[in-house]
Amino acid sequence: MSEPILELKDVDVHYGVIQALKKVSLHIDEGETVSLIGSNGAGKSTLLMSIFGQPRASAGQILFRGTDITHKSSHYVASNGVAQAPEGRRVFPDMSVEENLLMGTIPIGTAHADEDMQRMFELFPRLKERRNQRAMTMSGGEQQMLAIARALMSRPKLLLLDEPSLGLAPIVVKQIFQTLRELAATGMTIFLVEQNANHALRLSDRAYVMVTGEIRLSGTGEELLGNQEVRNAYLGGH
């Protein structure tokens, strides 16, 4: 059996006296698309950010490709192959699309920048049309695409996405998930955090459900789509 690319073992995270993650254990294998679903405030973003050590786990262990990264710097984690498109699609507003993409190469340097930018323009044709446009003047969906493309510019082995569908119109959400499907088909390993359980579960090989800082359920995307508790809590009971 292959070693997981990412493994969390009994991870706790505290914000002061508040415990945001409670003994969280999960794993992601190479080439998988795994999602973490849960309501607002469940601890999803905290979990993603803890992989970069911000916030730092107060107990437990985080392993990336077999190396213990629990106490490593976020720079170490980024330059060893983890990239994140953070919640709220934080792009550099005054920079153009191309300049934003170049910022994504910081963990690895610019040696492959031209080639990789072309790949991003194939994956996201809209970004090509807008390559010289300032990010702040683009639509929410375009900014989300840019945030994902920027993360991919560091040639990650693991891509973390924090609520890529947040605040976007249904048609745009559909486009984003279609692109993620194409990306997954290239072999990219994706860990996706979403409140939009329907899209996330349909895309994912496996998923975890988080409730108030704990993993409540796990299974294949299909199993969880059929699970009554998941349907009631996250799919409007349908």
Q: Is there binding between residue 111 and ligand ADP (CB under 6 A)?
A: no
From residue 87 to residue 126, what is the string marking binding to Mg ion with x (rule CB under 5 A)? x---------------------------------------
Residues 6+ apart with CB under 8 A from 222: 201
From residue 16 to residue 45, what is the string marking binding to ligand ADP with x (rule CB under 6 A)? --x-x-----------------x-xxxxxx
Q: Measured from the CB of residue 232, what is the shortest distance to Mg ion in angstroms?
A: 22
Residues 6+ apart with CB under 8 A from 204: 33, 34, 35, 192, 220, 221
Q: Is there binding between residue 45 and Mg ion (CB under 5 A)?
A: yes
Residue nearest to Mg ion (CB): 45
Choose from Mg ion, ligand ADP, none: what does 42 bind? Cβ within 5-8 Å by kind: ligand ADP
Nearer residue to Mg ion within complex by CB, 45 or 154: 45
- Cα atoms in the 13 Å half-sphere on the side-chain side of 90: 5
Q: Measured from the CB of residue 129, what is the shortest distance to ligand ADP in angstroms?
A: 32
Name which of 39, 41, 63 is nearest 50 in CA terms: 63
Q: Measured from the CB of residue 210, what is the shortest distance to ligand ADP in angstroms?
A: 7
Nearer residue to Mg ion within complex by CB, 105 or 196: 196
- Rounded Cα distance, 152 and 159, in Å: 7
Nearer residue to ligand ADP within complex by CB, 14 or 231: 14
Nearer residue to ligand ADP within complex by CB, 97 or 148: 148
Say if residues 41 and 26 touch (Cβ distance below 8 Å). Answer: no
- Rounded Cα distance, 213 and 31, in Å: 26
- Cα atoms in the 13 Å half-sphere on the side-chain side of 129: 6
- Rounded Cα distance, 82 and 186, in Å: 17
Summarize as ranges the residues that interact with Mg ion (CB under 5 A). 44-45, 87
